[in-house]
Structure 1
Amino acid sequence: MQHTEAKERPTYFIKAMKEGIAAAMRDDERVVVIGEDVDRSVIGATRGLSKEFGEMRVRNTPISEQAFVGAAVGAAATGLRPVVDMMIGAFFYVSMDQLANQAAKLRYMSGGQVSLPITYFTATGPSGGGAAQHSENLHSMLMNVAGLKIVMPSTPYDAKGLMLSAIRDPNPVVYLQDHVLGGTRGHVPAEDYTVPLGVADIKRRGDDVTVVAIGATVPKALKVAAELASEGVSVEVIDPRTLVPLDIDTVLTSVARTGRLVVVDNARLTASAASEIVASVVQSGFGSLKAAPERVAWADVPVPFSAPLEERVLVQEYDIRAAIQRTLA
């Protein structure tokens, strides 16, 4: 559905996520929410849902990620559409067998007899002093798990539309809300709408360099692009929005025009989403490249608690600017 300016209003990213969940619950009584403290919701994406839909459909769980990630598999296999609040992204490590071996595999191993429409969502990535165990971005690792779809929006508009699409999808979807974006605001239609999985969005048009940015790096890339425009450099910024399935065709079309590629990934460099995107472009669009592609990502170390050290490890605007300038040299 195309959004119209007249029906939009400034909405927080977290509230947009909640609106997507609530819309799905109103539309389909099989949609249930489970997780730790989902009735009060520390981060906010499920706050108030228990009052509207009742405790049978918004269920608090014990502090056992293995238990409720696995319970969602059984619930989905028997006809429900569970939406699971993981709270913090690194908690997926505790439940990887249930996620990677059960949720991701059961439809394939049953020959399609079992459908698992599960949405696992979580706040992920650094939040400013969250330290090593609460600052993980897992998307690169999860992209390698066959059977999962991976969603990572960067705007409130996409947050609501992708949440609805994720919940209505017949497959398990991991929905990653980059932590620092939770308090950002943007225009979101009051009515229900979906953003299709597997379709990238060109956030800014440009002709000189293609920048693919993921999650919280999107606003940073847009800021750098605006600054470089005043210097005569035209930067196109693409947000994949969905990492699995990945809309590589939009990236290839852009690179065919600009001849240059920078991929900005809010995760560690080694085996990153940035690495996969660069490899795909080199394989399928090598003839279009006028310069070597650049990857901008974290250093391959745990995220420090110390604010100056955290800043040193993570992607900054000056890193994006420097990478763009290297492709133009």
Structure 2
Amino acid sequence: MSGSDPGGTDDDVGDRRRERDHESDGEQARDHNHEYDRDRDRDHDPSSSTPAANRAENGADQRSDRGDRGDRVTIEDDGVIRWFLRTDDGTVVVIRDILSSVAIVAAIGLLLFAVSGIWPPLVAVESGSMEPNMERGDLIFVVDDDRFVGDDPVGGTGVVTLENGQNGDHEKFGEPGDVIVFMPDGDPGQTPVIHRAHFWVDEDENWVDTKADEEILGGATCDQIRTCPAPHEGFITMGDNNNGYDQYQGGAPTTIVHPDWVTGKAMFRIPWLGHIRLAFDEFFGGMLGPNAPGATGLIDGAMLDLMSDAGVGVGASTGIGIAAAAHRYRA
């Protein structure tokens, strides 16, 4: 008897179901691969960023812009003083460096003035009459004669002469006695002289016979010397490298140095730095020299501009300014 086979029918149904499941799994795999490819392309394509990512990036850019604007210094936002101190504008930086140099020079000058009591407190030696104790080009620090007074000063001054210094231990620049700075014949228009004070004489004193060294005078008598007898009280002076007194045949002809003509006494020297002062004087043709009473020889703005253009820094220009502020003195 013929009829349907229940077992075969069930097998066919199972085969078709397995085929459908297989096809469904393949489609899911393909969909997964497509999604992976899209994600990978989106990661490499900046234009495909999500709105949230775009908003985050825009926020970071805005914060960066605000930071840049915050770093900028403007007159409107910060005021003139703050802008001047912080701006990186090239012209302002140069001006700021110049003003800094001038301020430092002024501060050091005030400090030296407070110690020395005279202005200028530095002198540049222009000749060799005090060698080897002072060389041409040395910068000498000087003080008022009533400061740092040694033992046994003379004539109511603060100066210890070579004569008195030999009796004690008062020695300056390698020999007894003070080295003084004075105006020859009391004339402020002449170049000041820096020589050693040898001894003190009273008015009308025959100092040739009483105190002078016969070897230095070479046998000259009081009648042969125009400053004998002494026209007034004061100092007999001489350069350490000279052969005669200034009041006779010395390197700086002058009469007896009256105490009022003494502008200071030397304390110590700075080798070579005085050459800067002498160079400035030669460059400006004497404009920085002490020909006019009270001239200080300070560096002017034009020269500071030249130094800045040449790349001279604050520290270097400060040293130059201090040296240039010194007077030129004849040893």
Q: Specify the TM-score bucket, using the shorter chain as the normaliser.
A: under 0.3
Which one has more relative contact order, counting CA pairs under 8 Å at least 6 apart?
2
Which structure features the higher share of strand residues? Answer: 1
Query: TM-score, normalised on structure 1?
Result: 0.25
Query: TM-score, normalised on structure 2?
Result: 0.25
Greater gyration radius: 2
